[in-house]
Amino acid sequence: MNKKMRMKLVAIMAMGILSVGSLVGCGSGEPAQTETETKPSTEAQDTSKEEPKKDEKPVELVWWTIGNEPADLDAVTDAINEYTMEKLNVTLDIRYASWGDYGEKLSKIVQSGESFDIAFGAGIKGYQDLANKGYFADLTPYLEGTPDLKNFIPEALWQGMTVNDQIIGVPAYKDSAQAQYWVWQQPVVDELGIDITKIKTLEDLDPVLRQMKEKYPDKYPLMLQGLEGINGFIATVCGYDELVVTPSIGVHYEDASATVVSPWEQENTMNNLKIIHKWFNDGLINPDAATATENYKGIMVWAAQGFPHAWTEADGVPVVYEKFYGPAYSTRTIQGSFLAVSAGSKNIDKSLEVIELVNTDEKMRNLLAFGVEGVNYEKTGETTIKKLTDGYEVPAYSQGTFFNMYTVDPAPASMWKDLQAETETAFSSPALGFTFNTQPVQNEVAACSNIESKYRPSLITGSANPEEVVPQMMTELNNAGYQDIITEVQKQLNEYLGK
């Protein structure tokens, strides 16, 4: 999942869902195992809980997470450890790796055998290959020792974290199902009298964009850039769960037969591409869209993944929004944020107890997310706060659930309850839980990815005529083995579904 950089989220998420970590299905295959790699431990461990003895030595767990290390980390960690000692006889050594370094650094740590216990799994480069090699603990037997955690997280999320019949991590129960919104500048909506509740499809949007162009002839109603186009285009505008992201291959969310297809060749995708192309020709889209790489400021309407109360303003302008798709569960959306436990950890059971505490204990969750009350924040209501300093800014989405967290003013106190209620309406992809192993066709995937990347920016921004360019792209893709990839995905998916 991508996010408008200009958006001011009132949620405490520092980054968007699916914006970190390797995306499901776009790996380049399993790297060769070298003699210097340390094999993960596979010894079974006792999963039963015992009350800590007063004279028992505390267990220290190493927890790797993503982001820039906050200035107040030591003080907050001291407060966290005072609580985890009381509850679990555990202390945490919380370590940060920067946004740019985390993926590579943690992948090396995992493979080197360096000792750690918990890590933000979604951010680790090639995490699926590492999971397939056994570097992450299979949590299935240990969850019996943390029943509150097991029962709190819905079964669909556990299914999404199951790879080769093993639960490779604890998913963050939050906006784990993708919901897509049109977000509008409120002054534009008010001035033109736009009923945003009636706009669900590109066909619905068409007359409104033309109305906007007539009212503001010097502006482009839809400002796009080639790396993204309309955010969520294949998944939410067209409705495909991309089992392979590049080149795009997937199943339609409403296809109970789970038939693997090329989204580019489907009638609904072609119709949407033709609409976007007409918008481009009619001057409703910025002419540099295909080559632009940055999001624009001050745009009047855009699509974004979100949830109730996610936006209040953008670039200093009040906004309003309306959902047009979802929420929908897929393996990709669920694996966008999870915590993995090292297979080499000597304390897998204690690691899960800590993760359980984060997800089920309000005090622990808010210590981890916001720091120390009276120092880093103060309460403005029973479950609302305002921040006092910027000394403890962390990506809370990487830690656990949102549903026992405080909300930050001016977000409403009901924010997370409303999100949870929306999430409970989510539907699932017919391929939920499936992860494609690219190894049998890794060369074809690499070649087709390069081909698609040449054409995709111009197609998704309307710069190219899809009736001409899609056939040209498909010829090149098929010559490079695209159909072989589809066949292999279908084979693996059928095996997964027991067909």
CA atoms within 13 A on the CB side of 21: 29
Helix, strand, coil percent content, the chain, rounded in steps of 5: 40, 20, 45
CA dihedral 381, 386, 391, 393 (to 10 degrees): 90
Give backbone dihedrals phi and psi of 88, rounded to 5 degrees, phi first.
Answer: -130, -5
Answer whether 199's CB lies under 8 Å from 189's CB.
no
Q: Are 274 and 282 in contact (CB under 8 A)?
A: no
Residue 295: per-residue pLDDT? 82
Distances (CA, A) of 3 to 71, 181, 295, 365, 438: 26, 12, 10, 25, 27
Q: Domain 7-175+334-428 in CATH: superfamily?
A: Periplasmic binding protein-like II (3.40.190.10)
What is the domain partition of the chain in residue ranges?
Answer: 7-175+334-428
Q: What is the pLDDT of residues 396-439, one digit of tens each?
A: 999 999 999 999 999 999 999 999 999 999 999 999 999 999 99
Check residue 164 and give its pLDDT: 87
Residues 300-324 have pLDDT tens digits of 999 999 999 999 999 999 999 999 9
Say what the pTM is.
0.84
Q: Which residues pair with 162 in a beta bridge?
A: 167
Query: Splitting the chain (499 residues) into consecutive groups of 10 residues, what average pLDDT does each group show?
Result: 36 34 30 33 42 74 98 98 98 97 97 97 94 95 97 96 94 96 98 97 98 97 95 97 97 98 98 98 97 90 95 94 97 96 97 98 98 98 97 97 96 96 96 94 97 98 98 98 98 95
The tokens describing 216, both together, are: 């503001």
Question: Two tokens at 392?
Answer: 């403890």
If phi > 0 it is left, if psi is from -120 to 50 it is alpha, else beta; for residue 329 that is beta
Helix (H, G, I), strand (E, B) or coil at 458: helix
Q: In whole numbers, what is the pLDDT of the chain averaged over residues? A: 90
* pLDDT tens sequence across 29-64: 332 233 333 334 334 344 444 555 556 899 999 999
Give the β-pairing of 170-171 and 338-341.
antiparallel
